[in-house]
Structure 1
């Protein structure tokens, strides 16, 4: 966590072209002692610049903004900083969200998210988790990836993984939590975390969200599995 003041407070940047949403999210987050909104951005270009300048722990990124949109901004923020990006959308099925996940986003939230769920999401992604459990996320990925065909080059890269790591990746992509994966494979949660860490390193992936995308694009998991 990027804690410049040594107080353990999460630093958040809010990027949205609509003042109402931007201000509302900032107000909700600033009401909590462990979170502070260090900046706001009205478009993707400003989001990139402020993320580089302010080094937040988490960026709330509107997916549809004029000029530089949330997808391009997400890719740049992930490339140039260590911030975790959580994208915001009005629609539960939005192709832009899938593109943002490929670009490095840790997950997404609908803009009508409840206050408590917004705060919880920020804390989760700051801690290194990905918002992949909701069935709507799995449906989104399955719908978009299902329109294409598996990419052979990615399929071949599965050969870099052990059998247990492949099993872990398959279950992860089906939306299973670490405890659920541990129960399925009859191993400890610590072992699951080790498998996840190893497969991310071997495949050169940023986080669990990108692992889910990889699993679908490689053909390891197909829409309807799980």
Structure 2
């Protein structure tokens, strides 16, 4: 996890172990968002486009409503460690397809024409997950600390115990290739909305209800 050749807040590379989990094949779409939350104030509109202008708080509320609707507690945001495990899909290269950017795998500044794209139209990673890099930044559950990787625990890290910013991963349609790497991480206030912010769902493998 991390990148010794990346930005300081992505260093150092370190080994982590996470328990089995499930993660959404796609980013949550505007159609899915609308079914629980009403209209999505997206800049780029379409049922199968990722939900946009989603704050961390918004994502958590969507998940609360989804769990309530399905009478379960299985759905949640992925942790940062889970997200990177899913994005890398067993690789240790800059991107999950290699060390050079390839437009067919990610919607970023060089390929997106500065617009969001229908989920699942870029090529997937080896785990069959789409748009882990690019399209929209994806919120994870962790508080953000630029130095957290220097002290992160090895087993099932869940981020700092507190903070003022939440972490987002993967870059977006509006970012240069340097921000759509498997190690790319950044932060925003939990109530911050932006047209390049979205999310995907996760759940622990041992949750049965």
Q: Same fold (TM over 0.5)?
A: no
Structure with larger RCO (C-alpha < 8 A, sep 6+): 2
**Would you tell me which structure has more helix in proportion to its own residues?**
1
TM, length-normalised to structure 2: 0.28
- For the pair shown, which has the larger CA radius of gyration, 1 or 2? 1
